[in-house]
Structure 1
Amino acid sequence: MAQEAGGDKGAPVKLQLNKTENAGDACRITMVVDNSKGSALKTFKVDLFAFDTEGVAQKRVAVELAPVASHKTTVKIFDFPGIACSKVGRILLNDVLACDGGEGAREACLERTEVESKGTIPFDR
């Protein structure tokens, strides 16, 4: 049983950049957070950068994606203010700023976070 619980510690948290749309002067992001194999996260704050189509860093946002229930997939919506989606060339998961839940230290959460993009804007780590 302890071994089974320990399996959750390294279970991936998958972040999918699912949809982007303009919302006034911001690029609105729809992010799917797939924690279907892991334990609950009380805090999961990520540091994201939007790069323009020339590869120059433009906007930085810190986004709290928690709470994330154990073995659950959720959807979070947030904005990159001051940049139109058509001007975003890629989004980078720069870091995990905070992570609280299970045995997840911040560094361990970064290591187990996987990213993908469903749309036209690449999402990297």
Structure 2
Amino acid sequence: MLVLKRCAIAILLAGSLGAGPALAETEQDAHVTIELNAVETVGDACRISFLIQNGHDSDISQAVYEAVLFDTEGRVDRLTLFDFGALPAARPRVRQFVVPGLACASLGRLLINGAETCTGEGTPPDACTRDLELRSRTGVEVLG
């Protein structure tokens, strides 16, 4: 009987110890997702629309990404900063940027070069870049 009790205690302890890494893995899986959702010509400018989601447990108070815009032939057109502002935890946001002098039809690729700013109380220093997920619903490729 004593052996059965010891086995039961050992199984319970092993199960509770096993739960620790699973929780840590969940926290490590948290990341920001940026989707290039639409590009639209507005006069002599291109309006670029993003759907962005902060998958972390804490709010990001300011997220600014450096982006490189490439033309359809692969040449760098310009470097720019996209200020996505505040990103509440686990809530999607749409942000639009009008890029003057850019024809949407000439935009071939968009490279997220890194985070210029990523701040927030309780936000890890690499919250905006670690495991950054990028995708596009347009013909413009998004890289990072």
Q: Percent of aligned pairs with the same residue? A: 30
Q: Quick one: which of 45, 49, 69 aligns to 1:30?
A: 49
Q: Any unmatched runs of 5+ in structure 2?
A: 1-20
Q: State the Cα distance separating 1:82 from its structure 2 match.
A: 1.2
Q: Within 5 Å, which residues of 2 pair with 1:9-48?
A: 11-48=30-67
- CA gap of 1:64–1:16, structure 2 versus 1, over 3 A, is same
Q: State the Cα distance separating 1:18 from its structure 2 match.
A: 0.3
- SS of 2:60's equivalent in the other structure is coil
- SS of 1:66's equivalent in the other structure is strand
TM-score normalised by structure 2 residue count:
0.76
Read off the aligned partner of 1:121 and give its amino acid letter. Answer: V
Q: Quick one: which of 118, 128, 133 aligns to 1:109?
A: 128
Q: Within 5 Å, which residues of 2 pair with 1:49-88?
A: 49-88=68-107
Contact 2:32 2:129 in 1 (8 A): no
Q: Deviations over 1:54-109 (max 9, x none)?
A: 1000022211112011111110000222110000111110110010123321x442
Larger Rg: 2
Contact 1:41 1:99 in 2 (8 A): yes
RMSD: 2.2
- CA gap of 1:37–1:31, structure 2 versus 1, over 3 A, is same
Q: Any unmatched runs of 5+ in structure 1?
A: none
Q: State the Cα distance separating 1:111 from its structure 2 match.
A: 2.0
